[in-house]
Structure 1
């Protein structure tokens, strides 16, 4: 006689992703979906004999699989489908195409321009249209699900001969056609990275024109603001204007107060966000660290805080050293040293912990790692962002309750980005699940030893398949491309 369930997870502290208090439950999984939830304070336990595989969850918490809303895993989900940095910390879905850079649709004439080089070298960009990228993800069958934005800088690189100017009307028309094709194939929306040199010369009007197809498709607008430094309020106003004009939700990527002169401004930044929420849908994501990471950008070079060089093409031996020490050794100033190192990557210790706390705690904030998987010395957020929220911030520092932390990493994220039947433990929803120990979960990755799986993750299921257990992959890869849901977002 066939079993009622493929998997039964028994006697767990269930955090369903809604932010509601945890309750003891049994959860039965069948055909990749959550088939039954028995709440043990009101229902009888599910029969262990009804399942082909039984997991005892005594003392452990079960939550929806974490959704990493801000990643640069675009090419890695195909080239490195095991996706160990994400799967090992309980992430079951990644959203790619952030900060204006995406793997598709892209046609390169040479090397990828900065910052598209964060996604890999030229041979990693194999997707001239969005449908070919979707097909490649599904063929690779990564260990995590993948949803994708389309990058403004990627579109610019397809149609413009240089980046230090505004796009022409014909170029905008061509970019908009590619965006429409991607939306038709299930893209979530448009992302921009207006702070980067290759998009900084794009006026607001260029983005307004490009964003025209988003509303009819039910898409959204996500943006790495034109400035996260002194002009952050003006940059936020620009983002809100684009959202209002396009009639779509706005997501501010990795919201922060960058630079020493900006420390302490998170209150007014969040006030501006709340003011905009009166008139339009606005949210943000944040990673749980007071240091950022990207390419080595001359505009961010300063002596006010430590800058760690993570890689350098012309000076590879300098990876892992502070920019100030390199400049001192070479007998030059910081900017001269930075120019000599470029193209390069860096970690910038340029935020204040109190600002990070305030932004993380805000009800509009969801969690994204912003990890850089191709960096040889990655920021520890690549391996540790989600356990850090649960361990360091929720349990140890009590910044918010555990149920709220889980909501910021699951249900709220799924609603904001339009991921249907994901982000919650509900009957009929896809069985993306993570089993963890609330007492021991923690991030093990550090700035000096950044490649380290988290502690306290007992098991991870992706679309019902046990994919991670006892600090190791099972070898089962059950991820797939997730198209944008047609329903309206919360």
Structure 2
């Protein structure tokens, strides 16, 4: 007789992604979905083709990485080992104003689009072609996508150090509307970067207007994460109100030594906005950021490590101060000679990261850079670090809250229907881990290390990671914006 279930995961400590307390349970999977949840030991193991004994382990929804730059890698490197190995089953791409689609380059990709790869990686002149490429590549994780403002500017403008004209905005809007029709989650901006900084607020206001009708959202790398952060947040909230859409502040932080200790007032501003409009944020669990080498961020106040340099590749892995001393130049001139380049900036303090991570509006995003030859360890370790270092070792929040920040809450926020929860009928994106041993093994010196304590990962019901190795099964798919209700952060408070 055929089995009733494809897989049975028995006797687990179930943390279902809703924030509810853990309970002992059996979970059965059939045809890629969760078919039955019952008390531990209640489901007959003979009813399943495959049985996994989960005694002593936690079963949770697969983690949703809401802030990634995996846009081209889900096609070019579809095994997605850095994410799958830490329990991530869904990535959201297209953040910080940069996306793989729709893109038609005139030459080399402008900064920071070069974080996604070289010119030959940009093969998708419209969003539909990107969706087809994901379907063909069949990556190991699910993919949902935002459309980048800087990508749209690059498509329509002869130079990016100015405001867009009305005709250029209309052309950008047409491309955005087409992408929304093909399932894009919304629009992202990276207004801190030089190639978007000259875009006035009015340009973004006009571009964001089609989002509401599509049930989409607005995500933003703020115009400043330094002294002017409150003004930058006000700009983001204004755009959300004008467009009548939810706002997601990307990688919320207090960057730069003069900004340390300001997380209280930053979160007060977030809460004030949440009383009147849907607003949330994401955060990565580290005190260092990483991006291209930005002259505006060059300082002697904190350590800066160069991760790659196009004209001087031999300098990768060295500190900017060390390179400057060897060249007998100041830091800014050294940075100019190294560019285009990448860098890790040790620009935050622990207390601010703790406050932001703990906030109820915060979800987790790695912001990992998979094309960096010496990536920030968040690429491989962000989610286990939340569970191990912050939830278990430092008791910053309970395990159920940590899991909710990585599963149920981001699924609700980004309109990913039937994801992010272990409930009957939901898709079986699942991670089985040891709460006592899970930890991030990736370090700044040795960043490409899989996490410890991840026992197994299922994507759409298929066992994809087991015993620290990929199984070779790639069961991911493109996730279009939810057809019913679209993106949601929840009702404003108050």
Report the TM-score when normalising by structure 1. 0.99
Match of residue 33 from structure 1: 33
Does residue 1:463 correspond to 2:449, yes or no?
Answer: no
Residue 257 of structure 1 and its aligned partner are, at CA, apart by 0.1
Provide the C-alpha distance between the structure 1 equivalents of 2:199 and 2:148, rounded to a whole number of angstroms: 13
Provide the C-alpha distance between the structure 1 equivalents of 2:405 and 2:259, rounded to a whole number of angstroms: 25
SS in 2 for 1:412: helix
Residue 121 of structure 1 and its aligned partner are, at CA, apart by 0.2
Give runs of aligned pairs for residues 30-429 of structure 1, distance below 5 A.
Answer: 30-40=30-40, 45-429=42-426
Q: CA-to-partner distance for each residue in 1:164-185, whole Å, 9 max, x for gaps?
A: 1100000000000000000000
Does residue 1:448 correspond to 2:452, yes or no?
Answer: no
SS in 2 for 1:321: coil
Provide the C-alpha distance between the structure 1 equivalents of 2:359 and 2:336, rounded to a whole number of angstroms: 38
SS in 1 for 2:99: coil
Equivalent pairs, count: 487
SS in 2 for 1:222: strand
Provide the C-alpha distance between the structure 2 equivalents of 1:212 and 1:242, rounded to a whole number of angstroms: 9
Provide the C-alpha distance between the structure 1 equivalents of 2:26 and 2:182, rounded to a whole number of angstroms: 37
Provide the C-alpha distance between the structure 2 equivalents of 1:152 and 1:28, rounded to a whole number of angstroms: 42
Match of residue 24 from structure 1: 24
Provide the C-alpha distance between the structure 2 equivalents of 1:230 and 1:113, rounded to a whole number of angstroms: 26
Provide the C-alpha distance between the structure 2 equivalents of 1:486 and 1:232, rounded to a whole number of angstroms: 34
Q: CA-to-partner distance for each residue in 1:23-80, whole Å, 9 max, x for gaps?
A: 000000000000000033xxx6100000000000000000000000000000000000
Match of residue 12 from structure 2: 12
Unaligned runs of 5+ residues in structure 1 are none
Provide the C-alpha distance between the structure 1 equivalents of 2:158 and 2:483, rounded to a whole number of angstroms: 35
Residue 487 of structure 1 and its aligned partner are, at CA, apart by 2.9
SS in 1 for 2:366: coil
Provide the C-alpha distance between the structure 1 equivalents of 2:351 and 2:446, rounded to a whole number of angstroms: 25
SS in 2 for 1:354: helix
Could you list the structure 1 runs, at least 4 aligned residues long, displaced by more than 3 angstroms after superposition.
none
Unaligned runs of 5+ residues in structure 2 are none
Provide the C-alpha distance between the structure 1 equivalents of 2:395 and 2:467, rounded to a whole number of angstroms: 27
Match of residue 427 from structure 2: 430
SS in 1 for 2:192: coil
